Structure 1
Amino acid sequence: MAHGSWLLQTCSPSAALASLAVVTTTLLILGYASSSFLFGAPAYEYDDGTDVVEAAAAAAVPRRGPGYPPVLAYYISGGHGDSVRMTRLLKAVYHPRNRYLLHLDAGAGAYERARMAGYARSERAFLEYGNVHVVGKGDPVDARGASAVAAVLRGAAVLLRIGAEWDWLVMLGASDYPLVTPDDLLYAFSSVPRGLSFIDHRMDSGGAEAIVVDQNLLQSTSAEISFSLGQRAKPDGFELFRGSPWPILSRGFVEYCVVAPDNLPRTLLLYFSNSLSPMEFYFQTVMANSARFRNSTVNHNLRHTVAQDGGALASQGADQQQTSRYDTIVGSGAAFAGAFGDDEDALLQRIDEEVLRRPLDGVTPGEWCASDGEEAAREECSVGGDIDVVKHSNKGWRLATLMADLVGGRTV
């Protein structure tokens, strides 16, 4: 099959329209990112009904370089009914060194969006350090379609635009939660080269055969994807790879996908425009087919999948099952876990109390808090501490050891 013939084989009118939408989306993403690099325009105000809630203060500038921790950029996403969970997740992963962008998709109501924006403007630490932003006009997204990839790329472009220099992009959903403190996570990432991406992947030559149409690329309100008849043939111009839709990507790789200095990211974005679950394919396939990045990856995303615990615990009583789930999740050694159900607040509360030492309705304490020790664990963190110093626990050391082992044995 000639290179590019996969597009011709999927060109029903609806599929072709979706492909055209992805081309348009690609141009918008590239233009949005490029304008930020060239002109340094400020973030937009929420009240204008446009894009991003502007941080209440100029962001603190963390020191960078040898001897200093890295800087992480978080893209936290959710939909209708997720604003409370996203706020809780933000508090759990917050550190003044990092950047945070919260995106409630178009399925969320105006009240939810305004509530989250109001919270971002009212938390003392967020006001002081100016590193939390909220997307004011949510994109329509279906997690099974290309709109999910477009939303992530646009979020990444925003973070490249508004953020100080950062080292990794961490993507989290509303149902995810950390298993280590922000200090522990920064300590662990300090131990590995900053050009590496942590992306679960495997070769999957037949996984993208289904043809779907994602109407969310064409409209401003959320819609479900629709399925088309037939299957596409495997392309001969690149190999397909598949993995978890929640990678941790290096800044260099993110810039490559957003700015697209060559045709590979654009070609693959177009190819996956009509594919089912492209978030499981896009970044993995770009990485594996790029001569520049294929040898700078770790085949692990530092996550524990909560859903995989259910079968082994089904025969236990409720209390014993809850304890076993906690032990399994926390004992996994992962940095994050997901996806937690809506009814698992007690489990998250135990993680808050025993792992993060996060006070009720407060952010996770760290070395940056002006308060020390038990006082910081009991009360809200005071601002004014040193954001360039982190203090790790045994869990941070354990995660750093895992990452060092993974880096030592990485393959594509």
Structure 2
Amino acid sequence: MRLLKAVYHPRNQYLLHLDAISSDEERTKLAHSVRSVKVFRVFGNVNVIGKADASDRMGSSSLAAALHAAAVLLKINGDWDWFVTLSSSDYPIVTQDDLLDVFSHVPRNLNFIDHTSDVGWKLYQRVQPIVVDPGIYLARRTRIFYASQTRPAPNSFKFFTGSPWVILSRSFMEYCVTGYDNLPRRVLMYFTNVLLPLEAYFHTVLCNSPQFQNTTVNTDLRFLVWDTPPKSDPNFLNLTHFEDMTNSGAAFARRFQEDDPILNKIDSEILKRPRNGVVPGKWCSEDRVDVNIVEPGPFAVKLSKLISKMVAKENIRSTQCKF
């Protein structure tokens, strides 16, 4: 709920999902918590998945949950431009007025996704092994398991990998969900048995599609701190990271521990979010509510500079898919 209130704006659509390992009581409590906030009721743009999907980030159930979420959002209200994935370990480091203002000047077909075709060691640990995620077909979650045999790398498409945290265009998500040509379905069949598919599926479809391969910007717009050499997850952020984080120009940061003091500092110094309230925006600052008015602040300038640099004509090609 803290994350939801930190990223809330009436213009956006929100879909909350607790995976199948959570209890029905927890899901009901989340739905009641959403209904208890007046602004969410008034604008009706926050929804909760009632029947949970399994979601093991190591297996294809996590990819299925992401595609299901996109399909639900397209059905609920297709009036949105980008599909943004967030977990409860994420937090914004710009206001929604900042984000909406900056992205209003960005071509709607761009996809912000950290990606590379330099698979390296992942070829032997991610591409060739065959894994089975029981969450796809069993009601109860069990651990994924490996087949005894491996398979050759695909030759009908090039494998790409990168960050699992993405900001993808609505047109591309429609392409993935509807599968109006064979590529998304063919790649999905292969990725049903790939380890950590969220780190490669969207990347691979984007970069193998003639329609979308020139729409990528090679960043996930996240601030992260990694060990050297990197572990499977970035480090938890704390107050010592605050200055670097605010100077990064990123839109979001991760990972945060629940109620860490750095979250209070972000609320007070960046978001200006009152305790237990949503981030105040221009839309709610006047006697008459107008959700189409935004008032960007200083952190919008940093985000705008980062994006403008990456999508400039002389730089955009260097951030796009390379075979």
Separation of aligned partners in 2, 1:282 and 1:123: 36
Q: TM-score, normalised by structure 2?
A: 0.90
Shift of residue 330 of structure 1? 2.1
Instruction: Specify the structure having the higher radius of gyration (Cα).
Output: 1
The reply on whether 1:369 has 2:284 as its aligned counterpart is yes
Shift of residue 234 of structure 1? 1.1
SS at match of 2:41: helix
Q: Deviations over 1:64-96 (max 9, x none)?
A: xxxxxxxxxxxxxxxxxxxxxxx1100000000
> Is the alpha carbon distance of 1:248 and 1:166 closer, same or farther for their aligned partners in structure 2, counting shifts above 3 Å?
same
SS at match of 1:104: coil
Cα RMSD of the aligned pairs, angstroms, is 1.8
Counterpart among 183, 198, 201 of residue 279 in structure 1: 198
The reply on whether 1:172 has 2:86 as its aligned counterpart is yes
The 5 Å alignment of 1:284-323 reads: 284-308=203-227, 322-323=238-239
8 A Cα contact 2:6 2:92, kept in partner: yes
Q: What residue is the counterpart of 1:387 in the other structure?
A: 291
Shift of residue 307 of structure 1? 4.5
Shift of residue 309 of structure 1? 9.8
The reply on whether 1:359 has 2:278 as its aligned counterpart is no
Shift of residue 221 of structure 1? 2.2
Q: What residue is the counterpart of 1:89 in the other structure?
A: 3
Counterpart among 244, 248, 257 of residue 332 in structure 1: 248
One-letter amino acid matched to 1:300: T
* Displaced runs of 4 or more, over 6 A: none
The 5 Å alignment of 1:9-408 reads: 87-205=1-119, 206=123, 207-308=126-227, 322-342=238-258, 345-370=260-285, 384-408=288-312
Query: Which residues of structure 2 form unaligned runs of 5+?
Result: 231-236
Separation of aligned partners in 2, 1:235 and 1:277: 17
> Is the alpha carbon distance of 1:238 and 1:322 closer, same or farther for their aligned partners in structure 2, counting shifts above 3 Å?
closer
Q: TM-score, normalised by structure 1?
A: 0.71
Shift of residue 306 of structure 1? 4.0
Q: What residue is the counterpart of 1:26 in the other structure?
A: none
8 A Cα contact 1:203 1:242, kept in partner: yes
Query: Which residues of structure 1 form unaligned runs of 5+?
Result: 1-86, 312-320, 372-381
Separation of aligned partners in 1, 2:109 and 2:2: 30
Shift of residue 323 of structure 1? 3.7
8 A Cα contact 2:15 2:47, kept in partner: yes
One-letter amino acid matched to 2:44: G
SS at match of 1:139: coil
